[in-house]
Amino acid sequence: MSNSSMKMVEKNLANITEDEAALYDRQIRLWGLDAQKRLRASRVLVAGVCGMGAEVTKNLVLSGIKSLTLLDHRNLTEIDVCANFLAPHDAVGQNIAEVSKERAQILNPMVEVSSDSDDIEKKTDEFFKQFDVVCAMRCSKEQLLRISNICHQNKILFFGGDVFGMIGYMFADLQEHQYVEEVKEKVEVEQDGKKQTVEETKMVKRTENFVPLSQALDVDWTTTKYASQLRRTSSTYFIMHIIMEFITLHGRNPNPAHRAEDEVELLTIKNALLEKMGIPQEKVDNQFASMVYGQLSPVCAIVGGVLAQEIIKAVSQKDPPHNNFFFFNTQDGAGVVECIGH
């Protein structure tokens, strides 16, 4: 966690009550009391109450944070219900943040869960400053860049991500993040006059530096550094760019109701964007254009689970974070961590 965010959370640290100690006993044994106290003091914004947002919310509320705010101005649709298990089926047409609040709260009564039905576009810089962690989904590229910059300038932990059909991604900017890591070392000890080699576990302090989203997206792939990395870089990074461009142009995600025309548009954007970036067209298989509709629950569970895990690690200051992208594509059948923009 950045130093400023850490101080903000430390100021809010409160003693764990007996009820909390009982509820979080397993977690406290896993990552320690101090880490649980940091979680207990953190205030989180989840913007975009989609299927992935529901997964993030579930995991954070169960972990025992201080408070979580659900922000989304959209109304619940039939497609949303398929992936968002926090939203009741009979609430279609109502605000998705408000109807998801009750089930989120039931998960853990000790966490303060609130909802906000405003459009994120209308939120001022001051709004975001009241949180220790901001997690943004279902946002346009322009919205993500704006929120990322606000968080970077104010030392707020920023996470962004989304799921498009069979693929998903997350991004993290923790600024200058300090954490502790368990390291096993072999040491020689003398016992009964004999030397023996035993394994000891030590806690080592480390620091990782992150870049804002703008820097991670604006990469010159024609430079020697990145041209040499291109072959190993996940194609999902470029698919993410293509879909961001689609949303900017059309004000919506690719829609299964417009599949035929949207596939043509996605491939048109792909050709133009990869040419502009100096990327060979074969880097992205054209098949992606048929795979990015709606949100598949298993993909939401995987990417949302990783994103929530990264928030917990960042707030608790335990274990090395993913720096800075995580991509999942069902074609590959595996997730991959990429560090881009450094």
Which CATH number does the domain housing residue 304 bear?
Answer: 3.40.50.720
pLDDT at residue 293, rounded to an integer: 94
Domain identity same for 130 and 101: yes
Q: Encoding tokens for residue 25? A: 């006993």
pLDDT at residue 9, rounded to an integer: 42
Domain identity same for 140 and 256: no
Q: For 101-139, what is the HEC assignment?
A: HHHHHHHCCCCEEEEECCCHHHCCHHHHCCCCEEEECCC
pLDDT at residue 36, rounded to an integer: 81
Radius of gyration of the chain (CA): 21
Q: Encoding tokens for residue 48? A: 């975009």
Domain identity same for 271 and 326: no
Q: Which residue, among 82, 56, 83, has the nearest Cα to 71 in the 3D structure?
A: 56
Bridge partners, 169 (sequence order): 162, 327
Contact yes or no for 1/317 (Cβ under 8 A): yes
pLDDT at residue 306, rounded to an integer: 97
Class of residue 275 by CB neighbours under 10 A (exposed 0-12, middle 13-18, buried 19+): exposed
Domain identity same for 170 and 304: yes
Domain identity same for 255 and 276: yes
Contact yes or no for 122/137 (Cβ under 8 A): no
Q: Encoding tokens for residue 302? A: 């995987």
Q: Which residue, among 294, 246, 291, 296, has the nearest Cα to 77 in the 3D structure?
A: 294
pLDDT at residue 186, rounded to an integer: 80
Sheet holding 112-116, edge to edge: 112-116, 67-71, 43-47, 133-136, 157-164, 167-173, 325-329, 334-338
Domain identity same for 20 and 113: yes
Distance CA 48, CA 120 (A): 9
Contact yes or no for 136/44 (Cβ under 8 A): no
Contact yes or no for 61/68 (Cβ under 8 A): yes
Domain identity same for 10 and 138: yes
**Which of 290, 311, 330 is the last residue in one of the domains?**
290
Q: Encoding tokens for residue 40? A: 């207990």
DSSP 8-state symbol, 294: S
pLDDT at residue 26, rounded to an integer: 66
Domain identity same for 63 and 145: yes
Helix (H) or strand (E) segment spanning residue 221: none
Distance CA 13, CA 36 (A): 10
Domain encompassing residue 265: 213-290
Distance CA 26, CA 48 (A): 30
pLDDT at residue 6, rounded to an integer: 44
Domain identity same for 152 and 187: no
Domain identity same for 271 and 312: no
Distance CA 179, CA 197 (A): 28
Block means of pLDDT (10 residues each) for the chain, length 342 residues? 46 60 68 81 96 97 95 93 92 96 95 97 97 97 97 97 97 95 80 77 90 96 91 95 97 93 98 96 96 94 97 93 96 91 90
The neighbour count for residue 208, using CB atoms within 10 Å, is 17
Question: What are the backbone dihedrals phi and psi of residue 123, each rounded to the nearest 5 degrees, phi first?
Answer: -75, 135
Number of domains present in the structure of the chain: 3
Domain identity same for 12 and 142: yes
